[in-house]
Structure 1
Amino acid sequence: EVENYFSNHFYPTNLNQLTQGKETKEFWKKVLFLTQVLSELRYKNKRYLPIDKEFKTQLWVKEWLKRSPLDKQELAISYGKEWVQVLKEMDSFDAEIIVSQLTGHAKFGKTSTQIATKLGIEPMEVAFLLQHAISQLMDKINNKKESYPLFYLIYQESSGDRYSSLSQSTKLTAHYLENGRSIEEIAIKRKLKVNTIAEHVIELAIIFPDFEVARFIPRDEYERLNALFNRHEAISYEELVVKMPRVPFSWYRLIQVERSRTFE
């Protein structure tokens, strides 16, 4: 039955998705959102509905734009030129599938159902076609990285170092944490304030959903903080310190971040 299905439908034969599923998904999510942001920026439009409401992705885009040495308009133009060039190098059908997904100024990406209806195929087949097209896009970028510096930067950040999108200071803190150092030890080692390192920890907790929060808060306080949040989810820091006067703001913020994952 499976053989019969694929004899009449597209069969994925060369997908990075099969071995690099997480990286491919991360790359495509970032490319889609950055394309929308830079397109609207090019038209100087600040009033639009972002296609990605995930805080982690939105934070990544803001940081990515900050790190670029180019003026934002120059960046948008360069990014657009890379899109045009890489699409020209792709198979025309793959390029069409890719473009159909893009959202920008006065343009909305099509859903799998809309594409399927247009092509007269099933939505599941569209998913295979899209993954194949993204795989081809990533291969083109990786093979000619000098031609696509902006795309390659996103490619690296999606498939390389877990911490590549962080500032150098936060990245260094992350590596110290991985080696078992405490916030206080890192502050002494780096000759920085404890609050600065705590801010790095909060940033890491926001960006990485698997980042363990409980290790930075003594167990009794951790349990008591969660009990207070259970009774009053929107409790402010000012209200909390009335009940737990010695709790630093970083603990309060870490509990907030952790609970936002649970209730998303």
Structure 2
Amino acid sequence: MAETGQEGEEVSSTEALRRRLRSLYFGSDPRAIAFQFAMMMVDIAIIVFFLMGPYLRAGHAYVLVDYVVAAIIAFEIVARILVAPTLRYWLTRPMTWIDLFILATLLFPNQLANFAFLRALRIWAISQSRLFTLVLKRRGYGDYEETIQACINFLIFLFLVTGFVYSTFFYGENIIGFVDALYFTVATVTTTGFGDITLPGTLGKLTSIVTMIIGISLFVRLAQTIVRPHKVAFACPQCGLKRHDADAVHCKACGHVLNIPDEGT
């Protein structure tokens, strides 16, 4: 009976921890917002560490910081497991596998050095967070969320390709190699093609092809969000069309009279 009671207490404690974590991760009260903001700041610090990796790798403290970051990510993985409705839901989330890969590269930096470029995907995790959207809206940039997201996607792609090119073709050349990889990526994405830096072999050619195809697509998408007329997010009560001109009086799809709130009032 005592064991049953102890087991019941353990289950109860686990459930209480889950509820507490869920309230912190998904809540909107000041304590939850503060927790989410702190986690976002930690993510930003981790991203800076990742991007500065080629410059800091020669230092003696690099490995220590590497394992500290691994401990933080491991803690977040455990917390995400607890707040997930089911284990299956947790396993189907893209960020779950990204975090697991990142954790593996941190725990085994020498063996998995070629996969370190995946760490740049932490930027995408921040851009997908609810707090990020909330901050944009509070700062008055909610209507530009699509443009900001396009910028972030383009930057993530640049860092991913740069990291892959550096780890595959320039690893070991430290700062010079990383700058060369970034220079090659930007020149390829913009289709400038100076030709002073080229990747050798079949893998190099395939990397260049994929970079040009995906990169120019993201670049065009970014240009479209910047150049096209600004629209506001307001669902039409009649047909449900979600985006309209800021000064629209009638819905373009069904002609229903709109009453779009003016943020300046």
TM bucket normalised to smaller: under 0.3
TM-score (norm 2): 0.21
TM-score (norm 1): 0.21
